[in-house]
Chains A and B, each alone.
Chain A
Amino acid sequence: MLLAIGCARPVAHGPYGIGTPADPRAVAAIDLAVSPNGSGLPNGSGTPQRGAALFANTCARCHGAAVKLDPDRWPFATTVFDYIRRAMPPDRTGPLPESDVYAITAFTLYANGMVGPNDIMDRLTLPRVTMPNVKEFFDNR
């Protein structure tokens, strides 16, 4: 590092040498996308039971008793986690704790009959939840 100070020119990273290396913490703050294979899922876990209490406190004022997941609109359970984490609740002052997102996801999936009452949702179990109509979707690529 001391040697690097002597030659303060930034390392060329592309054809134009524009931009600065991204701080890993800044990347982590905006790297929210979760894929159906589970990539992007954080550590933590939650159960439908704990999710029910969180939902009653945080979500029910807009969503009522539970959110209905139309099987023709939700091919992947990972999307439920992804959307709650990136968007809910709308008046949040900061992100929900990851385990709370897992718990609310678990409760929502349970309320729609997609997981059992004692199923723990985490980075390994959530991608294994098969949504009922996943075979009715196709990618128009």
Chain B
Amino acid sequence: MTPALTPLAKQLGIITPSGLTFTRTHAGVPELDPRHHRVIVHGHVAKPLSFSLADLMRFPAVERIAFLECSGNSARGWETLGRGVQFSHGLVSNCAWTGVRLRTILDEAGIRSDAGWIVVEGADGAAYDRSIPLARAADAMLVYGQNGEMLRPEQGYPLRLLVPGFEGSANVKWVQSIKAVAGPVYSREETAQYTQPGSDGKIKLFDLVMDVKSVITTPSPGLGPLARGFHEARGFAWSGRGRIRDVEVTTDGGVTWMPAALDALALPQSFTRFTFPLMVGERPLIVGSRARDETGMLQPSLAQLIAARGPALRYHVNAVAFWRIGTDGTVDVAPA
């Protein structure tokens, strides 16, 4: 299925509308009848249980705002689909999610203390499955609501996993099975896909958390020509490791950096909006943003990423992006 990417340049606030949420699938979008669909919790549990959607909606509900970012966002290749920040960065969305804590369901089935992981499986054509380490997924939810309405089919209706901060592909859609296990199963989607070369040349499995990242969404390539004079640069910053602590903006291609203004709503594992004043037309500008999260991690340059992981950069690409704004107001990609 053709991917759908979020048009970030048109997103005005931190919430991505449901219909503009990015979509990637591995084996189609199943049509599931919520009257008949079941989620079975089994494996290392005292009592294997089967839940309908109505059952799950009876549990205490929680809501939280969280981004989801495809592990392959900002990797090379997407630019063939189109020009602009939608294609360079649009495999990320930020939504309000409603559902039940995973812990609540696992406790209901009596998960055993020897179960450190769960295998979550979807009802799509490939029974797509991922192993999730419970010690790193304390905030995990089984969600049925997105932005105040039921999930849409392409987002996993009736139920999807949400592990705030984890790479998008770990947030299994159309969940039909949650199996409590002692260790990971090493499924195809966590061995043949979604692995990373490590700095020692070894292949990292379960590199699940999306690192700190930001991008200026307006102005951005394709939006010009801009009128002469004042413009407010706007963008989003996010980190799978927590809150955004600060964002800096450059207008000279990274020689000097100045603090951007952060919106007060700075939630963990969520888009945080930042702004910075620009004067267009006086001289050519090369603008970019770099974010730091509450763990102190600073968004790297492309050169730093390549030095750490080699030039392929298939997944977890969080390098600083630069846009060139000419004195005529045209906006284009500047080489990083």
Contact = CB atoms under 8 A, between A and B. Distances in A.
A66 B16 CA distance: 43
Nearest to A90: B125
Interface string B113-125: 0000001010001
B120 to A, nearest CB: 10
B49 A21 contact: yes
Contacts of A16: 58-59, 104, 108
Contacts of A133: 203
A26 B126 contact: no
A26 B203 contact: no
Interface stretch (B190-198, B292-300, B328-336): B190-198
Interface in A70-84: 70, 72-76, 78-79, 82-83
A78 B42 CA distance: 21
Interface stretch (A32-40, A43-51, A96-104): A32-40
Nearest to A27: B42
Contact of B187 (A13, A19, A83): A83
B176 A30 contact: yes
A137 to B, nearest CB: 5
Interface stretch (B4-12, B91-99, B141-149, B177-185): B177-185
Contacts of A138: 198, 202-205
B49 A13 contact: yes
Contacts of B121: 30, 32-33
A116 B104 CA distance: 48
A141 interface: yes
B51 A19 contact: yes
Interface in A82-141: 82-83, 86-87, 90, 133, 136-141
A130 to B, nearest CB: 14
A2 interface: no
B110 A14 contact: yes
A62 to B, nearest CB: 14
B224 interface: no
28 contacts: A13-B108, A13-B110, A14-B47, A14-B49, A14-B109, A16-B108, A19-B50, A19-B51, A21-B49, A27-B48, A30-B177, A32-B121, A33-B181, A34-B185, A35-B185, A40-B185, A74-B192, A75-B191, A75-B203, A76-B191, A90-B126, A136-B201, A136-B202, A137-B191, A137-B202, A138-B204, A139-B184, A139-B206
Interface of A: 13-16, 18-23, 26-27, 30-36, 40, 70, 72-76, 78-79, 82-83, 86-87, 90, 133, 136-141
